[in-house]
Every structure is written in C-alpha cells, then in structure tokens.
Structure 1
Amino acid sequence: YQLSRVSTQQQQHLQQAKKQLDGLQNRLLKENSDWARFAPALLKDWQTWLAAEIENNENIATREIPNPFYFSKPLNPNMGSEVFRGREATVQHIERLLCDSQQSLSIVLLAPRRSGKSSLLKMLPQLLPQAVFIFYDLQDNPAEHIEGFFYSLITQVKTQTYVERSITLPDRPNETTLSQSDAWFKQVDEQLTQPLLICIDEFERLPTLLPNENNDLLRLMAWFRATIQHRQNVRLLISGAAAFDELDRIWDDHFINLQTLKLPHLSADVCLDLLRQPTAHFPTEVMPPAVAEYIIERTQGQPYLTQALAGTGIEYINYHGLKQLELSLMDVIEQQVLERCSGYFRDVYYSAPKAAQPLFYRLSHGETLDLATENKAAVRWLKQRLLITEAGEVNIPLFARWVRDWVERD
C-alpha cells in the first residue's frame, strides 16, 4: 500500500486489508482461546487506523486527475473501451468480409507488436455482434502434439460460444485426432447460421508450438487450408507482425485466399482527440495542445507508446500535486517511459534480423543512409514494422532515443 503511488491502487490495497480484518473478526467470534480474548482490542485499533487511511485516501483520490490511459494490457469492452479509437475503417472492412457469404473469406491481420491487434480482437464481439469470435492464445494453450492442439481449441470454441452467444455446440469427440476434429468442425459449420471466427494471435509462434515429428505442423497447416477453402461459417483470423514473405514457404503454400489487413499507427487527428478528451469527463486543460502535439510527434501515433507517455504523464502530475502537464516536464516523463517500456523496446530491437539492427542503430544516431545500397530484407523488415519511413528516416523518435540511450554499438 505505502509503496504504491497511485491512489486507486492504494484504495484497492486498503479495501483488501479491510476485507481480511473483517474476516479475522468473524473468526474471533467463533474461537474461545486466550488469543481470541485479547485480540479484539488490537483488532479494533487496526480497524480504526484503516478506516482513517481509507477516508484520507478517498479525499486524495477526489483531488487526483483520473488516468484513463491503459498501456500495460490490451483494451477490452470492460476496461478502456472509451480510449479505443481510430480503428473504424478496419472494423468496417472485417464486417464486410464476414457478411460476404458467397466467398466466406478468412483474414490475416498484420501490425507491429503493441500496435493494438489484441485490443482490436477483444473489442470485435462488442462491435460486430452478428458474428461469434473465438480467441485462441497459443501461449496459454501449449500442446505437444496435434491432438492436444485440437483438444484445447475445441474446448475454447465450445466454452466461448456458449458464454458469449448462448449457443450449444456438439460434444467434443472422445479423441481429438485430426480426422475426428475436422468432422466436429464440419458439424459446427453446418449448425451455425452466423460466422464463427477463430482468432489466433501471434501466428508466427505455431512452428514452436508443435514438434517436427509426425509432421504435426504440416498436418495442422493443411487443416487450416481446408478450413479456409471449404468451410462457410467457420473461418480464421490470424494476426501477427510478420508478413508471409518473411517466413517459410509453408505459409504461402497453405494460407491461400486470405484477405490481408494492415493495422497502421493512429492518425494525428485521432491521437489529438484521444489525448485531449480520452473520456467524456476528462478535463481538457490537463493536456494542453502543445503537450498533446509533442506526444504525437514523439510517438507518431504508435498506440502503446502514445498511451504510455500520456498515462505516465498523468501519474507524474498526480504524484507531484500538479494540475496540468507542461512541456518542461516531458523530458523527465520520457525517461520514465523509456525505462518502464524497455521490455517492448528490447523485444522489437533484438528480434530484428542481424542486418536490420545496425541499420536502425545508425539511423537513430542521425546518419543519412542510401537505402538502395543497404540490405533489402533488412530495409523491408524495418518498414513493415513502421520503424522507418518510405524515405528511410526514423519513424518513431522516442524509439530512436531509446536506441541512443540504451544500446551500445556492436
């Protein structure tokens, strides 16, 4: 509680402590030990202190500026729906594809990491209620063989379909072999009268999910291809950061007839509206236009970094008892963001191909390069992650600062 700087988090700790003390009080009523006889006086002292702390914390919270910016987890309908902005065109495109019953198209959604793919997927059930969305997380459902993959996938489909749409699907087969699982999905496809979209995030992880023995990956990819080609209502939406031309030919061979959607950074207009009026009751004077424009210039609309700069800024002025962000504060706030988001920066930078890392390093240090003479695959990788512009300049100045401050030249 005392280590937390945010009053809302402090309030959660205090309420949890109150719940524990109330539980202890109920236990004491049922006990007849020596400890139970002298403990109530001590317990009352703690309850008196806790009540005063809760009241004081509530008073502080009323003076604090509410922080509506989320950057630690993806947005969802229950948390952060008001700050979900700028994806209307993508949602409409997905809706058109789902409504096209003649082609029954599946979708691949491409965007750099922390660009809002997962948030978009989690918001789709609320935005497009005419379809059933199944979220299958490869990290949460590890499988050593194809039967294990289908067991967890079918379980997720049955559970989520019932919870989200009150639709009861056929019982899971006793054995989730490829043939029996395919037969089950055929039954589901015939039963449904609306699209069922199986959403698989970070599809690039599939080769590490299944071993090469027994050709499990090839067999699964063949099932994906058959589903894309032959199922009317059961469809796929795979999302990731890597385009197929960066991966093994297995992807091009099996993921045919997919509609590719690319998720761009947020536009300047969307960012300005998001930063100055993230919620209906947010005081616009907290985020002056000059500060909002500074954040936009530093992040270029990268969703995660935009929310991180804004959210860290609100935390900073609340902690220091200020009422407004100022340009003079932003350098210190940026330094905090560079440290707090270092996991994101490291993941993107060090996952780059070996030829791309020194190229981005040099650009971040202000060198002017002729991209026509550089490694073409490295340039394409950086462009597809929106790290550099078509003209060969650094796209996200905040990322370039992290490289200058945190990365040593090899």
Structure 2
Amino acid sequence: MIGLGLCPSASADELQWSTPLGELPGENRDQALVVVLITNDVSTEWESGRVSRRASFAEKCWCGESFLRAVSDVPSGFFHPSAPVYWQHWPLGLPHVLTGGENVTGPGRCAVVVTDGFYRILEFFVGVPDRGELTALIGDAEDTRRWMRQHTKQPSEFTKQIADRNRQRINRLWKLELDQQLVAMGESSQQKVAGPIEEAERFTEEAKVRLSPLATQLQKVYLKDVQLRFGLTELSDFERLVILEQHSATRLAWTSVMAPFIAGADLRSVYEDLVEIVWDRKMMSLRRHEDDSASDDALDNWISRHGDQDPFAFEIQLPRLSRSGQRQRVPVSEVAERHGLGWKDLDSEIKEVPIRQVTTRELATWLTRHERRPIDVRRPSHARFLFFRSATDRPYPIRDGEPPARSITMIRQVKR
C-alpha cells in the first residue's frame, strides 16, 4: 500500500508495488481498491534464463513514467488508511524462450483494471491513463462498488446502472450496441437466473461464458469504428492500431460497452481471456502463490509415461478471439486435400500420437528447465502444435500460416 498522492516525484523504480494476485490484509479488505496495471513487459522472473521462484518486486514497465505522472495527479484525499488503494503491475509479455530468443520490439500494450479488495472487477481501461483519467477511473470504481453493494441479489441491476453511466460517453453506434447487449442479457437471464454477487465463483463462471460471444460481436463493431475514424484498410494499418490503442480514446467506446458485463467477475479468473481479447496475442500468465514444484513437474510426468523414443505433441491454443473464427489457417488446394494433405488430415494424424494442451507458462517453464532452444510461438504465424519425434528431439512447430503437407508427411513417416 502506498499513498502516491503524497509523493508526486517518485520514479518507477521507487514505486513499491504490492505482490500480483496477493491476498490483501483482512482488516481493510472491504474498503480497499486494487489498481492493476497490465502491460506486455516481460517479467523479471524470466530474465536470468532460469525460472526464478521470487520475481522482482519492482517490475520494469515500458509506460512507468507516464503512469506515475497519472498517479501523482490523483488527489491525496483518495488515499486513506481505512480505505487504501493497492497498486500492482502484471507484466504479461512472452519471455525470450517463447519468442525465438529475441527481444520483442513491438509496441507497448497497456490496460488498467480497478478491483475491490476481493479482486472483483469494478472498472476496465485500455491504454495509458493520462493526468485526470486515473482519478476518474478510481471515482467510477467507487460508484460501481456502491451499486454492486446495493444489488447483491440482482446483479443485472448494477449492470444496468453502469451501462446508464457509460452510455453518456459513447456515440450513437455504440449506444445501439450497448442496448442490444442489455436486451440479450435480459433474454438469457429469463432462461437462467444469474448468480448473486456473493457467489463469486458461480458469478464469475457465468461472466466468462458471456465474455467470448460478447467480445466477438464488439470486435466487429470496433473494427468498423476504427476504419471510419482512422481510415484503416490495410493489414499494416491495423498494426498501427496497436500504437493507437496506447491512447485511451481509441478503445474508450469498446471498454464502455464491455465494462458493465464483466463488473463483479473475479479478475484472477478472467484476466487471461480479457487480455487475449484486447491484444489478440498469446500472453504469459502469472505464477499463482499456490503453484509449487508439483505443477512444474506435471508436464515432465506426462512425457515420462510415454516411451523415450515415441512421438508426442503439445497443442498451443489460439488467442481467445482467434478461436472464434477471426483467424483462419492458410487455404489448402483441392488437389492437396484429395491427396490427404489438408488440415483435416493433419488434425487426424496428430490425434493418433499422445497430445497435451499446454499453457504458455507450462511451455516456457519446461523449455527453461531442460535448457531447450527458444521457440517462437507467434512468428511467422501461430504455432498450433509442437511435434516431437521423441522426448530427446527438438520440437517441430506446425504453424497455421504454412501448408500442412510437409507436417503430415513427417508425422506419417515417424509413425511407421
């Protein structure tokens, strides 16, 4: 806990961040707020080349100076011992071992989430907040918490109150979309009553179920919106959009519509989906405090159950929006399909070897532990599978952007 309103000249290195995902003191948890700065920086946990059990408390942050300026502008009256504001930095960028051993030079990504002392989402913001925006965000979070407390048994009511407030900040196009989503929420709630906010796990699971279809629909509106506002047409223009999203105005309408429907959900359970939706990139999950060496051993134990000379594969899921059909595999000709060299043939072949879905954290930990060569899971296109001829062999990435014929031929040869 830090009263940053009293230290406007603090530097990013001097800022005392509390532990990501850490439990807050029980005596003031009911009144506390947590401001979570999420960036695509790489955690110092991975800097040494070995997985460190104790990540550095002061994480490096590409937008640290800008964020500090925003913090210094928050009135000191916002910080009170009985209602503290805790600050956390969640660096979720992929480490070198998953980017081919190279430093990632792409644009910085940033989001800010304000939660209550139980990590229930109150406000959501995409971009680096400037002077005044962070103050407004904290003020909005207090309003959201008050509405949540007034309607603990009827969460749809505080959803509507948040929507009514946010409606004043968006244009007609987004107002129509917000109203349509409220109608859809009402129709679904007639079939199944939403869980009360006190039932945190149930409430969060229901929010996660809504998240994917909601994000898919909002992405369509968002892309049309930015095409009109910024004249984006080519693929390179959408790479420029990443830079534009460093400014809050770019996704303000999108977040204004999204926020009412994720308010109250446990950030610890939804942050991976939420970040992948905004970034449309794989990210590195945080290490949870309950994780131990047994979780790191799970992948090794799975591999050891198969023969040392037997083939196996890891599957890496696409980012959330891409799973919904936004990104397709490279087309395959009819001739290739007739010869059994299409994507369906690949999926059929690889399912005949032991296959395990892995998270980016599991994969990075395993590669680091066994001093394996770095793999780029994103470039030149998403690596959907990593195929191993044997446990001692280097992985062969099977990518969505490359025709599957070569991979199919190799798998068939290994299986003979």
Which structure's residues are more often helix, by fraction? 1
Please tell me whether Structure 1 or Structure 2 has the larger radius of gyration of its CA atoms: 1
TM-score normalised by structure 2 residue count = 0.24
